A and B are shown apart, each in its own frame.
Chain A
Amino acid sequence: MNANIVNFVYLLAGVLFILGIKGLTKPKTAVRGNLLSALGMLLAVVVTLLNMNTVDYSYVIAGVVVGSIVGSIMALRIQMTSMPQMVALLNGFGGGASLTIALAEYYAKLGTTPGSFAELLNPVVATSSAFGVGVEGTVALIAIGLTVLIGAVTLTGSLVAFAKLQELMKKSYGLPGGPIGNALFLIASLVAVALVVVDPGNVAAMVTVVVLALLLGLFLVMPIGGADMPVVIALLNSYSGIAAALAGFILGNTVLIIAGSLVGTSGLILTQIMCVAMNRSLANVLFGKMAEGGETIDADEVYAGKVTSAQPDEVAMILETAQRVVIVPGYGMAMAQAQHAVRELADAMEARGIEVEYGIHPVAGRMPGHMNVLLAEAEVPYDKLVEMDRINPTFEDTDVVIVIGANDVTNPMARDVEGSPIYGMPILNVDKAKTVVVIKRSLSPGFAGLPNPLFAMDHTLMVYGDGKKAVIEMTTALNQA
């Protein structure tokens, strides 16, 4: 096929990807946007297949069939509460694909046919001219090296993120050297990339890049805790995009570059949004612990004798007289699978003419937008989900706030106590409401490990127990009243 036609179709695919993301700027146009984007992908794949000259289709078909089956099963069976795991896994596969493409391209250009794994390491006589004329050869080699590096880090990093989110890996392990150890690993991988660029036949150096980068991915994500996962997932998302764009430079393929850079920026912007919402720098999330507080705050001192607990039916009595209620969900709601129960409580309140809205903190849950998807699943209309900046001024006119499974994002110490480890983190000002109801298993601290003075305030009622059960009991009591 004419190369111009192929490139024209790639351009068309790129435009469809852009329109697809543009569609995602409004919930109304989002479904259509996603379909446009999928159409672009189909076009790009079909034209690539048609354009291949002498093709051995067996590997291609085998890969497409296996991939389609696995992908469909994952997508159709996954629960909405497990969406962060799903995205982490998909990120990992994207990184793995870029890694293997770069390796395939490397060995293809070398033209070697190693018969065994041992032969893989044998040096080959080759110059950069095998990869392109003059500067282009060197650039192609740099792109291959970096794609292998980023692809491998994305692969293992995402798998660790998946294991942590799925709670297969509960503890946090890290390289003994901490950030310094990771930096040494990174430098060593970059040196190995440089060796490959200088002497493309140095196959051992290429294998070293692969091994070091796979390990680096493990060590980077292993020390990072659950509540910081939104940042990690967003960052790995951007890596998978950057790896795709780099692969585009290797193959001289325009659509890979357009698509890869769109994904790369998307991930970076989300990372930035998450970091701002936690008032922490990216370096601090990746390498630091939560800042140590000036003095340790004794939980007993905060809570002693000041915490009021209540039963669900008592809460229902307060709700009866309320005019405006705001529900603040957190990861605990996902854990308890309570989103449907919460919707039913909201329905019961609305039936009585109570105005109900949801206040969503940007880092509530384990990935950006996690709460919104869960509540959408429970058929809560999306215009009821109000972001932090818009809901905060309304708390003073709110009769009751129901906090379910959220902790740190409501902690007034972040606003009031200078020197507190979380000072400066933007929070939902739920304590400004007339009554605050907190549904929680116990007074145990959140991810930041801090007591929450909100729980001890005079107008706060603690409802202990399973979130789903407590909410259902409130609904029943409200309906009977």
Chain B
Amino acid sequence: MDILILLLALFVLSLFLGVELITKVPPTLHTPLMSGTNAVSGITLVGALLAAGNDGSPMLVNMLGFVAVTLATINVVGGYLVTNRMLAMFKRK
């Protein structure tokens, strides 16, 4: 139960932090913000790795883990690369 409360505290505080941070992002950068946060949501890769590499679990679990790793990696690699590509174009005169 202790851990659960700690995780919940972390969740709630992160939500408030998110609101503070995101409201300061200028509209010009909203598209990179979306693709960038998309890459961040690829953090599910961490969970996917745990599921895919768990030796001794049923085959089905590894297969689902493989799908999860693939999808999350696309998210991470594609998200960061495309964000970088876009941001590199934003220049001041």
Contacts and interface: CB of A to CB of B under 8 A. Distances in A.
Interface in B39-93: 39-93
Prevailing SS type, chain A contact patch: helix
A256 to B, nearest CB: 6
A128 B29 CA distance: 45
A67 B67 CA distance: 9
Contact of B34 (A233, A376, A385): A233
Contact of A266 (B22, B45, B92): B22
Contacts of A398: none
Interface string A20-36: 11101111101101110
Contacts of A379: 89, 91
A37 B80 contact: yes
A34 B81 CA distance: 9
A367 B33 CA distance: 11
Contact of B55 (A55, A136, A376): A55
Contacts of A267: 34, 37
Nearest to B8: A249
Contacts of B46: 44-45, 48, 253, 255-256
A93 B78 CA distance: 11
Contacts of B68: 63, 96-97, 100-101, 104
Contacts of A75: 77-82, 85
A257 B21 CA distance: 16
Interface in A248-281: 248-267, 269-270, 273
Given A48-B49, A75-B81, A262-B14, A368 B44 contact: no
Nearest to B33: A24
A80 interface: yes
B88 to A, nearest CB: 6
A113 interface: yes
Contacts of B49: 45, 48-49, 52, 60
Chain A: interface residue count, which band?
A: 35 or more
B86 A83 contact: yes
Given A18-B17, A87-B38, A240-B41, A24 B73 contact: no
B14 to A, nearest CB: 4
Contact of A83 (B7, B31, B57): B31
B27 A48 contact: no
A243 B3 CA distance: 20
A68 B33 CA distance: 21
Contacts of B15: 261, 264-265
A71 B77 contact: yes
A97 B42 contact: yes
A55 to B, nearest CB: 4
A113 B58 contact: yes
A56 B65 CA distance: 11
A199 B5 CA distance: 25
B43 A41 contact: yes
Interface in A116-135: 120, 134-135
Contact of A24 (B25, B66, B70, B88): B25
A255 B86 CA distance: 26
B33 to A, nearest CB: 5
A104 B65 contact: yes
A262 B21 contact: yes
A234 B35 CA distance: 10
Nearest to A378: B89
B85 A382 contact: no
A237 interface: yes
B44 A97 contact: yes
Interface in B1-22: 1, 3-4, 7, 10-11, 14-15, 17-19, 21-22
Contacts of B44: 94, 97-98, 101, 243-244, 247, 256
Contacts of B65: 59-60, 63, 100-101, 104
A417 interface: no
Contacts of A341: none
A70 interface: yes
Contacts of B52: 59-60, 63, 104
Nearest to B63: A59
A479 to B, nearest CB: 21
Given A24-B32, A74-B82, A262 B69 contact: no
Contacts of B30: 270, 273, 367-369, 372
6 contacts: A18-B21, A60-B52, A66-B70, A120-B60, A373-B31, A373-B86
Interface of B: 1, 3-4, 7, 10-11, 14-15, 17-19, 21-93
Given A56-B62, A104-B51, A273-B27, 7 more contacts: A44-B43, A59-B52, A86-B82, A240-B41, A247-B44, A253-B46, A257-B11
